[in-house]
Amino acid sequence: MDVRQQMDALIEKLNAYNEAYYQQNTSLISDQAFDQLLAELQKLEAEYPLFANPNSPTQRVGGTITKNFSSVTHQFPMLSLGNTYNAKDLEEFDERIRKTLENEPYEYICELKFDGVALSFWYQHGQLIKGVTRGDGTRGDDITNNVKTIKSLPIRVHSSIFPEEFELRGEGYMPISSFDQINEEKIRKGEAPLANPRNAASGTFKMQDSAEVAKRNMECFVYAYLGNENPFQTHEDSLNHIASQGFPVSPTWRKCQNMSEVLQYIDDWAEKRHDLPLHTDGIVIKINDFGQQERLGYTAKSPRWAISFKYPSEIAKTTIESIVFQVGRTGNITPVANLKPVYLAGTVIKRASVHNANEMQRLDLRHGDQVFIEKGGEIIPKITGVDASARKEVNTLFDFPENCPACGSPLQRVEGEANHYCLNDTVCPPQIKGKIEHFIQRKALNIENIGTETIDLFFEKGIVREIADLYDLKAENFIGLDGFQTKSIQNILSGIEKSKNIPFRQVLFGLGIRHVGATIAEKLVLQFHSIENLQQATFEELIAVPEIGERIAVSVQDYFSKEANQNTITRLKAAGVQLSEEITEIVLEGIHLVGKSFVISGVFKNFERDELKAKIIAHGGKVVSSISAKLDYLIAGDQMGPAKLEKAKQLSIKMISEEEFLDMLN
């Protein structure tokens, strides 16, 4: 047997032992014997790296060093869910479902909402090829080497039902037992303990050494199937098959026939959830049938067929020690209370938001007050009340400042708003640095390899004092700065150069005009096409744009009226940043397909898949990804997926060719 055959045989044998142990709870070999075989394989891989297999069981113990995680565009956006904290909202959600489905029968699947890290697992030809973080929902980080250390996650699957390419979604987490063990070790060494399992999981999955990740025994639960080919009729079918293939699916999910059963499920787990090996913060409720999910559709941020129920917030009491006033990117002044540390909902809380001057006045906050805090889905917990009975006479009121704590400029309160603002945005350091951070983010100019610390350093040294300064950076600017090597400097300069190709809609969002988010920026570009047209737009022309109200129009005109912003635009234009864009809308070409739904499968002569979708929409039709009894047509091309073909036959769905589709348009 040659070396490659020997390595392949070891991989096959070790993978079989792993599968039996982690997916079937069966030990076919002793731990010592397994470790000996694994060590033998590791030795061969080190000696013959050309024969190394990416799906080798040695990947489970890590060892790969990742200096920078590459950014990956999600095949399907990782959307967030709408939240609710009460039964009334759930009943209203149920009523919306009933109306949209026109009283058609439907079921719910209820699942526990785990407090971990959302992950995407990509499979191709039965092999795990990528593990990706959620990121901003559109793009995430490729952490494949770290994901492969999750021992309960199959690296390969043998299923005749899964298509050649598919994706699974899940929650990566650090078991509470691992968290406690790590903290015990850290305390013993005199190191600061990890804050909570959720943050620990997030930090672990972003470690650069996968061998260190492997030592932390990370786990995951898989909860969703996605793919252009969907062989399943329901979410229930997909969960059952995913579990049958050895994937870790939490057995806590339940099918519910109505909202009454959903509420019973929520009540059943209100206390039991605390006995699980990880933290949970609520329940996810989904429509079971994939076809009905398609018909219900999506908003810009979340699916209409799912909702999250959050259990009531936990409350703790502690002492308020001081209040600091933070200056945001837009000049907004936010009071944040420093607290005597207290444990709440799995986290040690040291700070809590007070929001604004109105809230400070409502709470009547004073030095040394005993305050109640809660963590109801917020990143920074909030103060909800004061224990007046514990207040001492010497406790003095906190005063809201009259001047900016960063630059000393007088604060102003905008009419109709509760917040105070520093309007000195071209000089105030936190505002300038916040604008630069906003400008380089993924949804804006997507300039990688520059973080908050780098921006702070550039600002402190006077190298970058506004966003246009980024395009004047040269290698010599980094001379004498600690921590920058030739490669890292080149990566930064390369990222800045690439940003010159970012579309105008993202640039406009990146300028940080108050009230102009990504969606509003796109609508403005769709209407005005260039920065010059937008600068010259009248108030009446601005408010004539869909979704642009008076507040946004005033903010846009105010931005372009300032000389400093005009100079920035001139410099960005000179640097070659995209300041114009022709966004093409799908223009209605006809109404022949109005009310008709289509699934596309296979390869076509006259169209790419996206072109065919656009053609259907342009004639009033709707494109869906899964076959249901409500589907009107399946457009069948060459190399059509067998699962879709079989399901279409079972449901008697009309199948048409590319030529027959074109005839329909005429």
Q: Active-site residues: which are they?
A: 113
Q: What is the DSSP secondary-structure string of 582-596?
A: -PPP-----STTTT-
Backbone angles phi, psi at 69, to 5 degrees: -80, 125
- Cβ neighbours of residue 279 closer than 8 Å, sequence gap 6 or more: 114, 115, 176, 196, 197, 198, 346
Q: Which two tokens stand for residue 250?
A: 């939490």
Q: Which two tokens stand for residue 340?
A: 């005597």
Q: In angstroms, how far apart are the furthest CA atoms of the chain? A: 87
- Measured at the alpha carbon of residue 73, what is the angle toward residues 68 and 77, in degrees to the nearest 5? 130
Nearest Cα residue to 602 out of 666, 664, 656: 656
Helix, strand, coil shares of the chain as percentages rounded to 5?
40, 20, 40
Backbone angles phi, psi at 420, to 5 degrees: -100, 145
Nearest Cα residue to 638 out of 664, 601, 663, 611: 601
Question: Could you say which DSSP state residue 639 is in?
Answer: T
Q: In whole angstroms, give the CA distance from residue 414 to residue 606.
A: 57
| Alpha-carbon torsion (44, 47, 53, 57), positive or negative | positive
Checking DSSP bridges between strand 597-601 and strand 420-422, what pairing results, if any? unpaired
Contact between 177 and 219 (Cβ < 8 Å): no
CA distances (Å), 244 to each of 97, 160, 198, 238, in order? 31, 12, 28, 10
CA dihedral defined by 40, 43, 44, 48, rounded to 10 degrees? 170
Helices assigned H by DSSP within 499-549: 504-510, 518-528, 531-536, 539-543
Q: In whole angstroms, give the CA distance from residue 577 to residue 347.
A: 43
Q: In whole angstroms, give the CA distance from residue 325 to residue 651.
A: 62
Contact between 646 and 613 (Cβ < 8 Å): no
What's the first-to-final CA gap in the chain, in angstroms? Answer: 65
DSSP element (H, E) containing 39: helix 31-47
CA distances (Å), 514 to each of 459, 508, 521, 523, 560, in order? 22, 11, 11, 15, 12
